[in-house]
Amino acid sequence: MSSVAKQIMWNRLISVVEEQAQALVRTAFSTSVREAGDLSAGVYDEKGRMLAQAVTGTPGHVNAMADAVAHFMREIGVGTMAEGDVYITNDPWMGTGHLHDITVVSPAFHGGRHVGFFGCTAHVVDVGGRGFGADGNSIYEEGIQIPIMRFADAGKVDETLVRMLRVNTREPDQLIGDIYALAACNEIGQRRLTAMLEEYGDSDLGGIAAFILENSRRATLERIAQLPRASASASMQIDGFSAPVDLCVKLEIKPDHITCDFGGTSGLDPKGINVPMVYTKAYACYALKCAIAPDIPNNTASLEPFRVTAPEGSIVNAKRPAPVALRHVIGHLIPDTVYGALDQILPDTVPAEGAGALCNFQVSLRPTRQGGRRAEVLTFNSGGSGARPTLDGLSATAFPSGVMTMPIEATEHTGPVIIWRKELRPDSGGPGRHRGGLGQYMEVGAREGHEFDFSAMFDRVRHPAHGRNGGQSGGATEVSLDDGTPLPGKGRSRIAEGARVMLAFPGGGGYGAAADRDRAAVIRDVRLGYVSVDAARRDYGLSDAELAEALRD
């Protein structure tokens, strides 16, 4: 087969897994999957090597799943696998980092022969325990654990497992519906793979796998070879739970790989913000790949040259039974830490620090009178991303996770919650030659006859996103009741009936000196309401005449 035909097959394989992901979006029950796209999908060869990933999905899932299939192969036993099998786990250390992510893997067969695997992951709204939040003291408090096992054996679903899961979650229909959706999307992948192999007359994935992996590895190594042989270290302090956390990293660029070591990083936290190594690796690799080889497809071979290590027992290499429910709050800040070091080696390449962690919260609603109902409502929201060397940061955009903000209508449909306000937050983008992206304001309450627990999952309260190369910091996170009472950035708070939670999400840091920003850009920001008149005068030095022009219709 010619290299052109193989490239066409490669593109076809990417379309197969994208259809796999879209099938999951369309059939999932949880809004975190249907609306936010907190999922991943991929295809693997018979050796468990990831060949292609869906465009829809998050790097924390996709890159972690690059290692997951090998665990399934070991635990299930390849020799016992049969057509119609579906395997499942939410093991944080063999999946994607916490119990709320369900990973489903299905062996792919063609002509009666095992040729590979399809895998997918989705974040589900509830798995029991204390509920989604940082309050647990160990993994045992964070929800039901599903070891790697068969969900379906040769097409027959394990009904005992289904019944056990249903009685251990507050949202049984959503959980079981999502699991069936995960299994169904793998089946879609299997069908499309069969059609592709039949069309091209191939009996397995061996030929196309070799082509994909060899070319991806070579292209990535060529990019690394063009970089200077250098090393650099950086650190970043973030909120943590009850005490600040220091993230430390050292990068070394070698001729054929890059090492990324997190030595010096803080130790484990008693609460659920610890990060399994698989998730640390996922986001460190993602950061490097975005900066060095963004256009090379993501697969096992293109990830292999990025080698990540961390001291065992540090907050970024947590071992069982550490609580890890909010591993994303720390994990999403890993790219900014890596970029602090990479900026020293490749100046004018990486963005300023951004909000980093998703601005998630979960609302656990309870009726205070007859006619109400209980519900678990999870929302995905974003602060601003950091300004780039040549462009402003993106407002209310999730970097590095890449998930989408959930529409208010979809959120309010899932339970008796009301989003009273959701809008961009002026002046939250760090001033600079290029301005940081804006955060958001939100105001959250419950319908009449309900109280709720508010589980906060925020960072950047005490440590806002720093600017780069003279840029200034973005706005910090703020959390309070509507009467002004401050609430913690992480953990569960009880909200009385009629009260509201007031949120201000963080902005991204600026890039370059604010004095160098184009005057027309500042005037445009004032007109659009992104920058206030006072901030334009204070941070950018606009004169009264320029401000008058900005305010003129």
Compute φ and ψ for 388, nearest 5 degrees.
-105, 165
271 inside domain:
no
Rounded to two decimals, the pTM is 0.95
* 89 or 65, greater pLDDT: 89
> Which string of DSSP letters, residue by residue, matches 44-109?
EETT--EEEE-SSS-HHHHHHHHHHHHHHIIIIIGGG--TT-EEEE--TTTTTSSTTEEEEEEEEE
Helices (H), 369-415: 408-413
CA-CA distance, 278 to 145, in Å (whole number)? 17
Predicted local confidence at residue 202, as pLDDT: 87
Predicted local confidence at residue 406, as pLDDT: 85
443 inside domain:
yes
Q: Cβ–Cβ contacts within 10 Å for residue 26, how many? A: 12
pLDDT digit string, tens, across residues 476-522: 999 999 999 999 999 999 999 999 999 999 999 999 999 999 999 99
Mean pLDDT of 263-271: 97
Closest CA to 223 of 271, 289, 158, 173: 289
Average per-residue pLDDT for the chain: 95
Q: Cβ–Cβ contacts within 10 Å for residue 404, how many? A: 15
Show the tokens assigned to 435. 């301005």
pLDDT band at 58; cut points 50, 70, 90 = confident
Instruction: Give the residues across from 258 on adjacent strands.
Output: 253, 306
pLDDT digit string, tens, across residues 362-415: 999 999 998 888 999 999 999 999 999 999 999 999 999 988 888 899 899 999
99 inside domain:
yes
Tell me the residue range of the domain where 38 lies.
Answer: 3-217
Question: Which of 165, 184, 217 delimits the end of a domain?
Answer: 217
Task: Determine the number of helices (DSSP H) and then strands (DSSP E) in the chain.
Answer: 14, 19
Mean pLDDT of 160-177: 96
Q: Cβ–Cβ contacts within 10 Å for residue 362, how many? A: 21
> Which string of DSSP letters, residue by residue, matches 480-546?
EETTS-B--SEEEEEE-TT--EEEEPPPPPPBS-GGGS-HHHHHHHHHHTSS-HHHHHHHH---HHH
Q: Cβ–Cβ contacts within 10 Å for residue 443, how many? A: 15
Mean pLDDT of 324-335: 97
104 inside domain:
yes
Compute φ and ψ for 68, nearest 5 degrees.
-70, -40
Helix, strand, coil proportions of the chain in percent (round to 5)?
Answer: 35, 20, 45
pLDDT digit string, tens, across residues 182-194: 999 999 999 999 9
CA-CA distance, 490 to 136, in Å (whole number)? 12
For the chain, the domain total comes to 2
pLDDT band at 457; cut points 50, 70, 90 = very high
230 inside domain:
no
pLDDT above 80 for 1 = no
Looking at 254-315, which runs of residues are DSSP E strands? 258-261, 306-309
Predicted local confidence at residue 37, as pLDDT: 86
18 inside domain:
yes
Instruction: Give the residues across from 309 on adjacent strands.
Output: 261
CA-CA distance, 512 to 501, in Å (whole number)? 35
> Does residue 173 sit in the same domain as residue 31?
yes
Question: Which of 183, 217, 251 delimits the end of a domain?
Answer: 217
- Give percent of the chain above pLDDT 90: 88
188 inside domain:
yes
Sheet holding 101-110, edge to edge: 50-53, 39-45, 113-123, 101-110, 86-89, 149-153, 156-157
503 inside domain:
yes
Question: Which of 191, 217, 243 delimits the end of a domain?
Answer: 217
CA-CA distance, 315 to 248, in Å (whole number)? 11
